[in-house]
Amino acid sequence: MEGDPIPWGVVKIQNGRIEAVETEGAAQAEENLGQTILLPGLVNVHTHLDLSDYPASQNGIIDFIPWLDSVIAHRLSQSPEQKRLAIQKGIEESLRGGVALVGDISSHGDSFPLLQNSPLYSRVYFELIGLTRSRSEECWKQFASWIHSNQGTEKTGHGISPHAPYSVHKEAFLRAGKTGLPTQVHLGESLVEMELLAKQVGLLEKWLAQKGLLDKEALCDSMSGILRDLSGSRLLVVVHGTRLDFELLPSGYLAICPRTQARFEQGELPLLAACRNGWKVALGTDGLSSAPDLNVLNEARLVRKNFPEFPVQDLLRAITLNGAEQLGFAEKLGSITPGKTATFSCFPIPPDTHPGPLEFLFGSSVPCSGLMIDGKWIFQNSFPNE
């Protein structure tokens, strides 16, 4: 089912897959979910699970450079066990919110084995960081070791993420593109980033110089050049894109994190501009260093509040099918379609809801009441241990 909601529909499941989708009365249901909105398992297309133990922050505006300092300090303070526990915490929070598939930007790829042993589907993007050549080469060695040591499965796939133009050597984009792996890259995230690339001056230039990380010869000179270097990637996803001019760039995939971008106050969410220019948009939560939780539905609810003109069906696709496509799992997930896995998120709905179930879902704060992955309930009505 990729069209309009089916009132009192029936989904037939066989061996963990959707066999058929029937209208009310066409088939007898073995399990009645009652007054429930049945959705495809939700997709969080962009997050950082290793930051799930980041100290709870206020909802105020974030200053970009002090925030960078705090994230670096936090990661340096984490022991391997603390990082493992943070990732596990993020996995559990994702499941609790009805998420079945995540795109995780992973420092050193550490989330891979944990996600592989979880019920979640996932794409793990090894995060490349290192603007100077020496740091860049060391990171590439770590990436090569990670790929060699971690075998992908049908549910857990590899990816690569050259972090951003201000944090990786320009050659890393071309090298990442040549791997052919699914790729995510932060682009056009802030004014200070754009100033650095355009003029090689400003607050970010001073910050890099103070830390001994500045190499002006390693900086890229254009967003279009970065996209060109990454063109060999399978499933290239641009993240944030707040300051990008979408009319000047070829269309592609965009992942936006509305609540994070609102906190940075870097400009209007690029949702409408990107869609007008042919970009396919999916939503992510980013990490808990900038987001209040890992509930991707809450990201969609903010979009609904701020952009009521954006169609609710398109908003649903942004947290389901579009995300599954960007992460390379659209053949299995993202819609209630015969042949796909029986993977669903459930949300309670009051009787006789008007104007409709999706309007209610995006306009309310109702939590997830159940999650099924591959035909097996992960939880129903209450999360395990709650």
Using one digit for the tens of pLDDT, what is the confidence trace for 163-181?
999 999 999 999 999 999 9
Fold held by 40-350+354-372: TIM Barrel (3.20.20)
The model's confidence at residue 55, banded by pLDDT at 50, 70 and 90, is confident
Count of CB atoms situated within 10 Å of the CB of 289: 19
List pLDDT tens digits, range 62-115.
889 999 999 999 999 999 999 999 999 999 999 999 999 999 999 999 999 999
Among 55-59, 138-142, 270-274, 303-307, the least confident range: 55-59
Rounded-to-integer distance, Cα 152 and Cα 158, Å: 6
Q: Flag the least confident range among 187-201, 304-318, 364-378.
A: 187-201
> Which residues have CB under 8 Å from 27's CB, separation 6+?
10, 12, 20
Query: Would the pLDDT of 4 be above 70?
Result: no
pLDDT of residue 58 exceeding 60: no
Is pLDDT above 80 for 25?
no
pLDDT single digits (tens) 231-262: 999 999 999 999 999 998 999 999 999 999 98
Burial state string for 36-73 with b = 16 or more CB within 10 A and e = fewer than 16? ebbbbbbbbbbbbbbbbbbeeeeeeebebeebbeebee
Asked which of 10-24, 78-92, 119-133 is least confident by mean pLDDT, the reply is: 10-24
Q: Read off the pLDDT band of 22 (50, 70, 90).
A: confident
Contact 171, 136 (CB under 8 A): yes
Residue 227's pLDDT is 94
Strands (E), the chain: 10-14, 17-22, 36-40, 42-47, 99-107, 121-128, 156-162, 183-187, 236-240, 253-256, 280-283, 344-348, 370-373, 376-380
Percent of the chain with pLDDT over 90: 77
How high does pLDDT run on average in the chain?
Answer: 92
Cα 83 from Cα 50, distance rounded (Å): 6
Residue 61 is encoded by which pair of tokens?
A: 């505006």
pLDDT (0 to 100) of residue 3: 63
pTM for the model: 0.95
pLDDT of residue 356: 85
